[in-house]
């Protein structure tokens, strides 16, 4: 009975099971502001730590162990270089994050070396949270957190959505027939 | 029916008059034990302080007396006070509990939110016919409620009432309630015994389960003391360890023999501890079935009863370790939602129903009873790719081994080099076994997973229990057309690594389709 009624996205395909194919998702990009914001935060925090290190090195008040003073410049420059490298990688990774919304499930694809696709059926959602940090608020962004019984370790999160999109998705989920049924 | 009339009265009383009820005074005992347990549970943190004051204690040995008096009176006060402030009441579909000495707690728990009802009977309740009723919710551990002292039969009745209460009275549920209603009157007759464990089974379980290592770990801080004590005791018996192990006076074989027998002695001691632990927790084990509910009862000192409706069962796991393989036994785990484990509450651990050390035939019968028409033992498993061996042995084991080996050979240490070759062979063999065991399969209703090292574990769950899925593929795996699949259930996640890409897609698509089209609730 329910099989004939089953639809997920595109109704023109042949069998119901073929409709639910995650290899043919209509992937959407996150907000344009998300990756640059993350990059800025990452670079700033890396530079801040570097600055702290430099201050420790230059300060005249405390006499630190000789070996520490010897290796500090080397370690610090290594840290800064690696840190900035990671910032670049994270930026590319952020740029590649995508999400997809279908009638019955949400998907999030991410990863640089390890490509991941997370899929969350809407019937299994327990509750949703819209999370906005101070910087996200400043840029008009929001993260959508979706909780299932899979536990806190497996919270499905869509980061870097514009506030409008996030609230739109939230409304879609809250009004979803599958969710309404299970309370 | 006659015998239950006064109980009905009592229940009725609890129902209609919205009066707060008090516990029976026997509960004081319970609170006192709880207090003691709290103290001993935190004794680890107090140890440094105790050790610090040890020297001063030696000067004033009688300080123990006031300390103990103080502790006992404190325990008495806390217990009586806890009992005094504890109130509970039932309404039509609600249980309310007020408790707490310093921080007052008021808990309001609707029946429909209760996921699990457990009956617990500590040894000091058994003589007086009381029981604790533990109510678990799907949510956080903070919302857990425990009715500390109820007459056993009232507790049984409440349990029935709570369990037969359903959140949504749809047609199917109504049907079930009616079924329960008819069952209630002839409850004890309809309960069907599925499995029973004899004492010898429990001894086997004690031998095969490695709870020994927990005890060993717990004793670790005291090793020095124990060794010293042992030495002293042996000395007083006329045995001098230092003398025995002295290579100058004894031959090597003698010393080895002593060491071996000593190790054996310790092992035997540990083994008996393990067997004891197994008997304490599983004594009188029965697994029975009443309507759609599975009930486990066991315990030597504290009798535990866990009751689980079939719909709450998330996954069945048949586990077999290497020792189990030798003894041809199996541990069967019936896992429920794990949400409470995050909070590390002790009751969450017993949320699993474990059927200890059963035979393969019994295990198959049980799995067939839980999941009719499952094909766990006759379905063809899809093996994972041989790339697993390349990844584990080639990328991980081999580089480390080559590095160590060349280092050792550079120092001309042939003996160690030989040992390293042996170790490499053993680990490679283990990785090979792991690869051979790992496989996945699915049919219209269930997903099956096989894995293991020396023994083989089997996992089986209905497809619609999946909460979330994960498809994972590295650049390297993409080149080989491989992908890993992780299925997240309420009881934890299940992983099938390095499947052919099309199989991985097929599995995830199938799961999503089943979840979204079946409309069956996962709990």
Show Cβ contacts of residue A5 under 8 Å, excluding neighbours closer than 6 positions: none
End-to-end CA distance of chain B: 33
Residue of chain B whose Cα is closest to the Cα of A153? B342
d(CA B473, CA B485): 9
B17 in a structural domain: yes
How distant, in Å, are the alpha carbons of A118, B152, B370, B402, B508 from that of B133?
Answer: 40, 9, 26, 59, 40
Q: Are residues A120 and A86 in the same domain?
A: no
Give yes or no: residues B455 and B431 share one domain.
Answer: no
**What is the percentage of chain A residues whose pLDDT exceeds 90?**
50
B402 and B344 part of one domain: no
Looking at chain B, which residue has its C-alpha nearest residue A17? B513
Q: pLDDT digits over B85-126, tens only?
A: 888 888 777 888 888 887 777 777 778 777 777 888 888 888
Burial pattern B62-79, b for ≥16 Cβ within 10 A else e, equals: eeeeeeeeeeeeebeebb
Based on the structure, what is the number of domains in chain A? 2
Cα B476 from Cα A114, distance rounded (Å): 9
pLDDT digits (tens, 9 = 90+) for B409-440: 998 888 889 999 999 999 999 999 999 999 99
**B96 and B168 belong to one structural domain:** yes
Query: Do A170 and A145 belong to one domain?
Result: yes
Closest CA to B451 of B373, B382, B364: B382
Report the alpha-carbon distance of residue B373 to residue B99 in Å, rounded: 48
Say how far apart CA A56 and CA A76 lie, in whole Å: 11
Which of B137, B160, B192 lies at the terminal end of a domain, its last residue? B192
Contact B342 A151 (CB under 8 A): yes
What is the DSSP pairing of strand B130-137 with strand B293-298?
unpaired
Rounded distance, CA B14 to CA A179, Å?
36
Q: Average pLDDT for residues B458-470, to the nearest whole number?
A: 94
Does residue A178 share a domain with residue A102? Answer: yes
Region of poorest pLDDT, from B53-57, B119-123, B213-217, B284-288: B213-217
Q: Of how many residues is chain A composed? A: 183
pLDDT tens sequence across A125-165: 888 888 888 988 999 999 999 988 887 788 899 999 999 99
Closest to B205 in 3D by CA, of B361, B377, B332, B307:
B332
A148 or B211, which is more confident:
A148
How many domains are contained in chain B?
4
Mean pLDDT of chain B: 80
Which of A70, A93, A116 corresponds to the end of one domain?
A93
- Residue B132: inside a domain: no
Backbone angles phi, psi at A15, to 5 degrees: -100, 160
Residue A22: closest C-alpha in chain B: B509
Contacts of B94 by beta carbon, 8 Å cutoff, 6+ apart: B108, B109, B110, B111
Portion of chain B with pLDDT greater than 70, in percent: 79
Helix-helix angle B252-282:B212-219, to 10 degrees: 110
- Residue B458: what pLDDT? 95
Q: With the CA atoms of B426, B427, B429 and B430 taken in that order, what torsion angle do they form, in degrees rounded to the nearest 10?
A: 120
In order of B40, B88, B149, B151, B300, the CA distances from B30 in angstroms are: 15, 16, 8, 14, 17
pLDDT at A126: 84
* Interface contact flag, A105 B512, Cβ < 8 Å: yes
Q: Does the structure show a pLDDT above 70 at A5?
A: no
**pLDDT band of B345, cuts 50, 70, 90:** very low
ipTM above 0.90, yes or no: no
Q: What is the pLDDT of residues A91-132, one digit of tens each?
A: 999 999 999 998 889 999 999 999 999 999 998 888 888 888
- In the numeric block, the tokens 């119901």 are attached to A16
DSSP string, B302-365: SEEEEEEEGGG--EEEEE--HHHHHHT-EEEEEE---GGGGGT-HHHHTTSEEEEEE-HHHHHH
> Which residues in chain B have their CB less than 8 angstroms from residue A23's CB?
505
Same structural domain, A157 and A137: yes
Q: Does residue A172 share a domain with residue A104?
A: yes
Residue B140 maps to a domain: no
Q: Do A16 and B517 touch (CB under 8 A)?
A: yes
B342 Cβ under 8 Å from any chain A Cβ: yes
Residue B475 and residue B442 share a domain: yes
Cβ contacts below 8 Å, chain A against chain B, sum to 110
Label the pairing between strands B293-298 and B439-442.
unpaired
Q: Within a domain: residue A160?
A: yes
Average pLDDT of span B23-36: 85
Residue in chain A closest to B338 (alpha carbons) equals: A151
Write down the pLDDT at residue B140.
52
In a domain, A124, yes or no: yes
pLDDT for the residue numbered B491: 87
Q: Are B26 and B128 in contact (CB under 8 A)?
A: yes
- Does residue B289 fall inside a structural domain? no
Measure the CA angle with vertex B305, ends B304 and B309; round to 5°.
150
Looking at CA atoms only, how far is residue B340 from chain A in angstroms? 9
pLDDT at B18: 62
Confidence of residue B236 (pLDDT cuts 50, 70, 90): confident
Query: What is the pLDDT, as a whole number, of residue B438?
Result: 95
Burial class (CB in 10 A: 0-12, 13-18, 19+), A85: exposed
Question: Residue A1 above 50 pLDDT?
Answer: no
Best CA proximity match to A115, nearest among A96, A95, A131, A134: A96
Answer yes or no: is A6 within a domain: no
Residue B220 Rama label (left phi>0; alpha psi -120 to 50; beta): alpha
pLDDT reported for residue B87: 87
Instruction: Tell me which of B190 and B222 has the higher pLDDT.
Output: B190
Which of A24, A121, A146 should we substitute to test contact with B (largest number of B Cβ atoms within 10 Å)?
A: A121
Structure tokens given for A108: 């999030």
Distances (CA, A) of B346 to A30, A48, B136, B351, B493: 42, 43, 12, 9, 21
**Domain co-membership, A156 together with A175:** yes
Between CA B423 and CA B425 the distance in angstroms is: 5
Q: Which of A20, A117, A118 sits opposite B513 (nearest CB)?
A: A20
**Chain B residues 456-495 with a CB less than 8 Å from chain A:** 466-475, 478, 488-490, 492-493
The closest alpha carbon to B126, from B301, B278, B285, belongs to B301
In angstroms, the separation between the Cα of residue B237 and the nearest Cα of chain A is: 55
pLDDT at B241: 66
Q: The domain containing residue A48 runs over which residues?
A: 35-93
Last residue of a domain, one of B235, B264, B280: B280
Q: Do B338 and B410 lie in a common domain? A: no
**Per-residue 3-state assignment (H helix, E strand, C coil) for B102-114:** CCCEEEEEEHHHE
pLDDT greater at residue B112 or residue B478? B478
Does residue B336 share a domain with residue B252? Answer: no
Which whole number is the average pLDDT over A6-25?
A: 62
Residue in A116, A121, A152 nearest the CB of B512 = A121
In a domain, A105, yes or no: yes
Q: Does B334 lie in the same domain as B445?
A: yes
Residues A40 and A88 reside in one and the same domain:
yes
Give the model's pLDDT for residue B245: 66
- A76 and A109 share one domain: no
- Does the distance separating the beta carbons of A113 and B474 come in below 8 Å? yes
Collect all residues with Cβ–Cβ distance below 8 Å to B496 and sequence separation of at least 6.
Answer: B384, B438, B439, B440, B449, B484, B485, B486, B504, B507
pLDDT at A110: 94
Q: What angle do CA A83, A87, A90 make, to 5 degrees?
A: 135
Which residues, including other chains, have CB under 8 Å from residue A101's CB and lie 6 or more apart? A28, A107, A169, A172
Both tokens of B96, joined, read 């309310």
Do B176 and B53 lie in one domain? The reply is: yes
pLDDT score of B327: 86
Q: Could you tell me which residue, B66 or A179, shows the higher pLDDT?
A: B66
Inside any domain, residue A16: no
Domain co-membership, B485 together with B356: yes
Residue B75 structure tokens:
């325990």
Cβ atoms within 10 Å, residue A154: 19
Which of B374, B409, B436 corresponds to the end of one domain?
Answer: B436
Transcribe B180-234 into DSSP letters: HHHHHHTHHHH-EEEEE--HHHHHHHHHHS-THHHHHHHHGGGHHHHHHHHHHHH
| pLDDT value for B292 | 82
**A89-93, A167-171, B28-32: the lowest-pLDDT one:** B28-32
pLDDT at B213 over 70: no
Asked if residue B418 is part of any domain, the answer here is yes
Tell me how crowded residue B144 is: count the other CB atoms within 10 A of its CB: 19
CATH code, domain carrying B346: 2.30.29
A98: distance to nearest CA of chain B, Å? 14
Give the mean model confidence (pLDDT) for residues B331-348: 63
Same domain, A176 and A109: yes
Rounded to whole angstroms, the Cα distance separating B168 from A63 reads: 72
The two three-digit tokens of residue B213, written as one number: 């290592």
**B112 in the same domain as B240:** no
**A106 shares its domain with A174:** yes
Residue bearing the bigger pLDDT, B118 or B348 = B118
Q: Is B282 helix (H, G, I), strand (E, B) or coil?
A: helix
Separation of alpha carbons A170 and A145, rounded Å: 10
Residue B127 lies in a domain: no
What's the length of chain B? 523
Residue B244 — very low, low, confident or very high, per pLDDT cuts 50/70/90?
low
Residue B169 has pLDDT above 60, yes or no: no
A120 chain-B contacts, CB cut-off 8 A = 468
Do residue B488 and residue A178 have CB atoms under 8 angstroms apart? no
Q: Which residues in chain B have Cβ-Cβ distances shorter than 8 Å to A123?
A: 515-516, 519
B270 & B160 share domain = no
Are A151 and B475 an interchain contact pair (Cβ–Cβ within 8 Å)? no
Question: Is residue B445 less than 8 Å (CB to CB) from chain A?
Answer: no
Residue B281: phi, psi to the nearest 5? Answer: -85, -20
A122 and A177 in one domain? yes
Question: Is A18 a domain residue?
Answer: no
Residues A171 and A130 in one domain: yes
Nearest to A148 among B338, B468, B516 (CB): B468
Range from B3-7, B125-129, B147-151, B444-448 carrying the lowest mean pLDDT: B3-7
Residue B301, CA distances (Å) to A29, B129, B219, B271, B479 in order: 60, 14, 23, 20, 59
* pLDDT of amino acid A4: 47
Convert the pLDDT of each residue in A37-77 to its tens digit. 999 999 999 999 999 999 988 888 888 888 888 888 899 99
Q: What is the CATH number of the domain that holds A172?
A: 2.30.29.30
- pLDDT at position B256 is 77
- Alpha carbon distance B289, B492 (integer Å): 25
Residue B301, domain member (yes or no): no
Beta-carbon contacts of residue B229 (< 8 Å; ≥ 6 apart): none
- State whether B486 and B421 are in the same domain: no
H/E segment holding residue B121: strand B114-121
Do residues B338 and B491 touch, judged by C-beta distance below 8 A? yes
Give domain status of residue B293, yes or no: no
**Residue B218's domain spans which residues?**
209-280
- Residue A94's region, left for phi above 0, alpha for psi from -120 to 50, else beta, is alpha
Cβ distance B516 to A20 less than 8 Å, yes or no, reads: yes
Taking the CA of residue B259 and the nearest CA in chain A, the distance in Å comes to 46
């Amino acid at each position: 009975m329910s099989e004939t009624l089953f639809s997920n996205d595109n109704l023109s395909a042949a069998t119901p099971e073929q409709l639910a194919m995650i290899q043919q998702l209509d992937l959407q990009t996150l907000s344009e502001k998300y990756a640059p914001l993350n990059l800025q935060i990452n670079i700033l925090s890396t530079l801040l730590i570097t600055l702290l290190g430099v201050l420790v090195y230059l300060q005249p008040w405390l006499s630190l162990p000789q070996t520490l003073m010897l290796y500090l410049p080397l370690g610090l420059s290594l840290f800064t270089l690696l840190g900035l490298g990671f910032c670049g990688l994270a930026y590319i990774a952020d740029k590649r994050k995508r999400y997809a919304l279908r009638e019955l499930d949400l998907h999030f694809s991410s990863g640089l070396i390890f490509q991941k696709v997370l899929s969350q059926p809407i019937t299994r959602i327990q509750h949703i949270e819209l999370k906005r940090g101070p910087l996200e608020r400043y840029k008009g962004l929001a993260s959508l957190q979706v909780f299932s019984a899979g536990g806190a370790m497996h919270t499905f999160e869509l980061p870097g959505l514009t506030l409008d999109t996030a609230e739109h998705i939230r409304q879609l989920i809250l009004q979803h027939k599958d969710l309404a049924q299970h309370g | 029916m006659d015998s239950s009339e006064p109980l009905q009265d009592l229940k009725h009383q609890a129902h209609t008059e919205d009066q707060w009820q008090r516990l029976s005074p026997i509960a004081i005992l319970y609170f006192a034990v709880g207090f003691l347990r709290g103290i001993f549970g935190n004794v680890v943190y107090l140890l440094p302080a105790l050790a610090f004051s040890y020297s001063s204690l030696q000067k004033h040995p009688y300080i123990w007396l006031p300390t103990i008096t103080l502790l006992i009176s404190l325990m008495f006060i806390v217990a009586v006070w806890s009992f005094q402030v504890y109130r509970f009441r039932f309404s039509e579909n609600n249980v309310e509990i007020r408790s707490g000495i310093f921080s007052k707690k008021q808990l309001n728990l609707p029946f429909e939110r209760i996921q699990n009802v457990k009956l617990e009977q500590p040894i000091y309740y058994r003589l007086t016919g009381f029981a604790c009723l533990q109510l678990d919710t799907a949510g956080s551990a903070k919302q857990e409620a425990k009715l500390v002292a109820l007459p056993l039969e009232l507790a049984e009745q409440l349990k029935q009432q709570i369990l037969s209460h359903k959140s949504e009275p749809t047609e199917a549920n109504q049907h079930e309630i009616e079924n329960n209603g008819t069952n209630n009157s002839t409850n004890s007759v309809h309960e069907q015994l599925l499995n029973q464990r004899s004492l010898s089974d429990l001894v086997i379980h004690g031998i095969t389960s490695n709870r020994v290592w927990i005890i060993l770990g717990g004793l670790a801080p005291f090793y020095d003391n124990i060794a010293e004590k042992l030495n002293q005791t042996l000395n007083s018996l006329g045995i001098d360890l230092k003398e025995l192990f002295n290579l100058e006076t004894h031959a090597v074989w003698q010393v080895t023999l002593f060491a071996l027998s000593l190790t054996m002695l310790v092992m035997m001691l540990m083994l008996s501890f393990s067997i004891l632990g197994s008997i304490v927790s599983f004594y009188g084990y029965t697994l029975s079935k009443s309507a759609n509910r599975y009930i486990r009862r066991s315990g030597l000192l504290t009798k535990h009863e866990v009751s689980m409706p079939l719909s709450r069962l998330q996954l069945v796991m048949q586990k077999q370790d290497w020792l189990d393989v030798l003894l041809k036994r199996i541990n069967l785990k019936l896992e429920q939602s794990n949400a409470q484990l995050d909070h590390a509450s002790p009751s969450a651990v017993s949320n699993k129903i474990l059927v200890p050390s059963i035979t393969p035939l019994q295990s198959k019968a049980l799995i067939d009873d839980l999941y009719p028409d499952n094909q766990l033992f006759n379905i063809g498993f899809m093996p994972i790719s041989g790339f697993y061996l390349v990844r584990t042995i080639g990328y991980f084991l081999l580089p480390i081994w080559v590095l160590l080996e060349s280092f050792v050979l550079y120092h001309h240490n042939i003996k160690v080099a030989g040992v390293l070759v042996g170790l490499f062979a053993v680990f490679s063999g283990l990785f090979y076994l792991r690869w051979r065991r790992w496989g996945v399969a699915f049919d219209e209703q269930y997903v099956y997973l096989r894995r293991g090292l020396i023994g083989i574990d089997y996992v089986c769950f209905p497809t619609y229990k999946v909460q979330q899925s994960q498809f994972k593929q590295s650049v390297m795996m993409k080149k080989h057309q491989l992908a890993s699949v992780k299925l997240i259930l309420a009881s934890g996640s299940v992983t099938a690594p390095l499947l052919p890409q099309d199989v991985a897609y097929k599995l995830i698509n199938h799961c999503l389709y089943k979840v979204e089209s079946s409309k069956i609730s996962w709990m």
